[in-house]
């Protein structure tokens, strides 16, 4: 668990550093999350640090119990009212925050941070490669059930990373760098 917590802190710190140096206009282009700009993704990432449990549950209830609907509404609302600096401070001040998604554990928190970091950096053309040890932790947690959640069908396909020993599925091999495969299994369109 110590390794995972250290990986989470490092991922958040690196993202905060990258965002600190991001010019103001770069907070408004679209991310890989459909309908969200960079600022909505950061608002979403930091929601876990800014929302108390009662506030979270109230927003979830107002969204009819639909977490995706709640996340979208809250990310858009928060991105509209919080400044770039507010969002940065929330991320920077919480690199060691113990948040973990329900049922996902610390591995789920790392996945959340890595995937959403890529949602920001890839469309901006930022040349950042997630360290392979972090990618391994995230990819090792991927199952065909996770992939189906994102609407990806791996029937008859085996994904193979070209930069580490990792595969998922069975069938015709499709090879790419691990980071690109992670985005693919998460349903991201590049």
Closest to 134 measured CA to CA, from 2, 10, 32:
10
**What does the pLDDT look like over 113-151, one tens digit per residue?**
999 999 999 999 999 999 999 999 999 998 878 888 888
Residue 170 reports pLDDT greater than 70 = yes
Mean pLDDT of 150-163: 93
Is the pLDDT at 22 greater than 90, yes or no? yes
According to the model, what pLDDT value does residue 146 have? Answer: 82
Quote the pLDDT of residue 1: 65
| For residues 9-13, average pLDDT | 98
β-pairing verdict for 157-161 and 172-176: parallel
State the Cα–Cα distance between residues 154 and 21, nearest whole angstrom: 38
| Bigger pLDDT: 99 vs 147 | 99
Alpha-carbon radius of gyration of the chain: 16
Query: Running DSSP on this structure, what letter comes out for residue 22?
Result: S
Lowest mean pLDDT of 28-37, 105-114, 148-157, 179-188, name the range. 148-157
What does the mean pLDDT of the chain come to?
A: 95
Which among 133, 188, 122 has a CA at the least distance from the CA of 164? Answer: 133
Share of the chain above pLDDT 70, in %: 99
What pLDDT does 87 receive? 97
């Amino acid at each position: 668990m110590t390794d995972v917590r250290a990986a989470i802190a490092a991922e958040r710190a690196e993202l905060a550093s990258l965002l600190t140096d991001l010019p103001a206009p770069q907070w408004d282009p679209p991310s890989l999350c459909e309908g969200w700009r960079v600022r909505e993704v950061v608002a979403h990432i930091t929601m876990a640090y800014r929302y108390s449990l009662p506030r979270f549950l109230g927003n979830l209830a107002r969204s009819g119990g639909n977490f995706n609907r709640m996340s979208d509404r809250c990310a858009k609302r928060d991105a509209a009212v919080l400044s770039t600096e507010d969002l940065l401070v929330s991320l920077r001040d919480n690199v060691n925050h113990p948040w973990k998604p329900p049922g996902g554990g610390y591995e789920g928190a790392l996945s959340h941070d890595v995937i959403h970091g890529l949602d920001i950096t890839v469309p901006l053309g930022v040349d950042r490669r997630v360290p392979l040890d972090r990618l391994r932790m995230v990819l090792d947690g991927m199952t065909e059930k996770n992939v189906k959640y994102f609407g990806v069908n791996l029937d008859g396909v085996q994904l193979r990373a070209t930069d580490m020993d990792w595969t998922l599925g069975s069938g015709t091999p499709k090879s790419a760098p691990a980071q690109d495969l992670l985005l693919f299994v998460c349903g991201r369109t590049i």
